[in-house]
Chain A
Amino acid sequence: MSANLSAIFYLISGVLFILALRGLSSPETSRQGNFFGILGMTIAITVTFLSIGSFSSGLTYVLIFLLIGGLIGAFIAYKIPMTAMPELVAGFHSLVGLSAVLVAISAFLNPEVFNLGSPGSIKLASLIEMSIGAAVGAITFSGSIIAFLKLQGIMSGSPITFRGQHLLNALLLSSIIILTYLLCLTQSSNFFWILLLVSFLIGFLLIIPIGGADMPVVISMLNSYSGWAAAGIGFTLENSALIITGALVGSSGAILSYIMCKGMNRSFFNVILGGFGASEQSTSLRDKEYRPVKSGNAEDAAFLMKNASSVIIVPGYGMAVAQAQHALREMVDTLKKNDIKVTYAIHPVAGRMPGHMNVLLAEANVPYDEVFELEEINNDFANADVAFVIGANDVTNPAAKNDPQSPIYGMPVLDVEKCKSVLFVKRSLSPGYAGIDNDLFYKENTLMLFADAKKMTEDITKNL
């Protein structure tokens, strides 16, 4: 296949990828969008095979590795529980990063195949593009691994900070530029390896200071990085499908990071610099005197809800941890049978990744037109009888509105306190990730339900 023809096909697959994202503008068109994505990928892979023409003995191996990877991927996709989506996505990002690194290395070792010149005299532009692709890929890889370990709970979710952290990161980042310069100047492979090593280190150092609940930002950011890495490699390979895709994914991740930051009223740099909710705040809290709360059981909760005419459900990460989404939907079904209006209110940063709660509710067969975003539903709390907060905390904290001293001051929150009564399903009184006490616990109209979210929801259903 001629180079021009394959370039046109790569362009087509790039366009199909755009349509794939476009499809996600509404759930009805989304499945078709995904199909476009698959089609685009099939075209890209087929064209690559055809454009090579003469196959070496490597073909069998290429197909075998393709098959092995495909089977593993398919197996994971079918087995993974929906609550584990954040881990899955983080893990997948690391794979994109690593494959970008591997492709960059093989292009560096064998530049003739990619029309980049010969070893020792690689074209200057290609060398720069390659270094960018490899560096960003390496950062994506090690960063995503750390994010994965934190989300899996293998590594503690609390931020790891040390003195001089920011200085070290700044030094390492600037050393990347110097190394790229030296690499271009000398073409010496040593600089290439050091560059990779430093980039792996940066990815690692960049993510360790970031706390568990900031993961929505981190995952979006790594999503963005994986795009830029792909674009860098795309420039090296002079492949428009890769360049288009890289740009799409890069801006997609960047937008998601922005939305997540806005949901927490924090600047992007504030999150990246990390250390939010560090120990100082939580220790100062322990000095506070004990305040009485009203706690109840499933029977009380059922009684309250039975006499309500409208209920708003506020799910949070705790629901995901307890896998309570199905039990919740059953409870809602029972409520609906009693002619009670039920809606769901989702805060942008509820859960551990963008849209996390929406997927879990969708899994439990909650129709998506009962699920509302913060801006859509916030005014409804004043007219609702019961707010059922399950596994959420900071996103309901009124301190964000009325306490300028609070670290979360200014963060958009759900106006749960405006409801006639608030039911809080929580395991204990412990503060949320930000280490801040929630005034809502101590309000007159709040009833705390101390239990596992799933167990409590089931008990309420029984009592309805």
Chain B
Amino acid sequence: MEIDPFIFRLSIFILSIFIGYYVVWSVTPSLHTPLMSVTNAISSVIIVGAIIAGLAGNSEGGFTISNILGFLAISLAAVNIFGGFLVTQRMLQMYKKKKKGK
């Protein structure tokens, strides 16, 4: 019997939870705020779904509700992607080591 592709996706999902578990425990507590902002940015990869929805063609021309929802979702996710990565960048720039020759 063939294995349902869903099982493969489930495997990816479960293994990723474990990866996440170990990777996040190794994050230093002083970087927990950047961790939140960067996870926030990457979870906006949901934009791929929004792009598919926004670009879906239809025979009559004009836009369906589905298209319009896609557009909205794109802009929301884009706010997050740009905002999330840039604000993380801004924070990480501030974490500097003590200047030498003290």
Contacts and interface: CB of A to CB of B under 8 A. Distances in A.
Interface of A: 10, 13-14, 17-18, 20-22, 24-28, 30-31, 33-34, 37-38, 40-41, 44-45, 47-49, 52, 54-59, 61-62, 65-74, 76-78, 80, 82, 85, 88-89, 92-93, 95-96, 98-100, 102-103, 105-107, 109-110, 113-114, 125, 219-220, 223, 226-227, 229-231, 233-253, 255-256, 259, 346, 348, 353-356, 358-359, 362-363, 365, 367-371, 373
30 contacts: A21-B38, A24-B34, A37-B41, A41-B42, A56-B57, A56-B58, A61-B54, A65-B75, A66-B74, A69-B75, A69-B78, A73-B82, A76-B87, A85-B87, A92-B84, A99-B77, A106-B70, A226-B40, A229-B46, A237-B52, A238-B5, A238-B9, A240-B9, A241-B48, A248-B24, A249-B42, A252-B24, A354-B33, A354-B36, A355-B32
Contacts of B89: 31, 34, 77
B16 A243 contact: yes
Contacts, number: 388
A24 B52 contact: no
Range of interface residues on chain B? 35 or more
A73 B86 contact: yes
A68 B94 CA distance: 28
B4 to A, nearest CB: 8
A279 B14 CA distance: 43
A41 B80 CA distance: 12
B78 A73 contact: yes
Contact of A25 (B21, B27, B51, B75): B27
Interface secondary structure of A, over-half rule: helix
A102 B71 CA distance: 9
B46 A27 contact: no
Interface string B39-61: 11111111111111111111001
